[in-house]
């Protein structure tokens, strides 16, 4: 899910001019990705994640009654949070960088926390 606009809005509302913005996926099967907003790239990313952590029934985690071992591994690969610079009161991203929430399981209600620190 593309969340750059929501993050930029939070930075603006904070009134912080110089500092940092933490964006954190608050669940063990979700992550935050900063990258280009381009369909071919996203197909490549999801394909790469599926190769490294494919869905399959034989994960040890599944002995607990869960069926989302792959989602936990994918979250480790993309990380659960990012710290972004705030400059002149704006989110300071590179020319093509956008912020995304990545959901790998979808079975439970999730949330994203945005914290802005600075002056």
Parse the chain into domains and list their residue ranges: 4-118
- Reported as type and span, the H/E element at residue 21 is strand 19-25
Q: CATH: 1.20.1250.20, 2.60.120.460, 1.20.1290.10, 3.40.50.10300. Which one for 4-118? A: 2.60.120.460
- Dump pLDDT digits (tens) for 36-85: 999 999 999 999 999 999 999 999 999 999 999 999 999 999 999 999 99
Query: What is the pLDDT confidence band of residue 109, given thresholds at 50, 70 and 90?
Result: confident
> What are the phi and psi torsion angles at 80 (to 5°)?
-100, -10
- Tokens 């001019």 sit on residue: 17
- Here the tokens at position 68 are 């989302």
pLDDT at 108: 79
Query: What is the pLDDT confidence band of residue 113, given thresholds at 50, 70 and 90?
Result: very high
Answer yes or no: is pLDDT of 17 > 90. Answer: yes
Q: Judging by beta carbons within 10 Å of its beta carbon (0-12, 13-18, 19+), is residue 40 exposed, middle or buried?
A: exposed
pTM of the model: 0.93
């Amino acid at each position: 899910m593309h969340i750059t606009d929501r993050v930029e809005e939070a930075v603006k509302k904070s009134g912080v001019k110089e500092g940092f913005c933490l964006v954190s996926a608050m669940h063990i099967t979700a992550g935050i990705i900063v990258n280009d907003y381009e369909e071919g790239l996203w197909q490549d990313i999801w394909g790469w994640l599926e190769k490294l952590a494919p869905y399959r029934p034989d994960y040890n985690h599944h002995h607990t009654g869960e069926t989302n071992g792959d989602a936990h591994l994918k979250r480790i690969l993309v990380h659960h949070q990012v710290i972004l610079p705030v400059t002149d009161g704006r989110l300071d991203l590179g020319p093509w960088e956008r912020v995304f929430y990545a959901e790998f399981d979808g079975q439970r209600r999730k949330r994203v926390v945005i914290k802005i620190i600075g002056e």
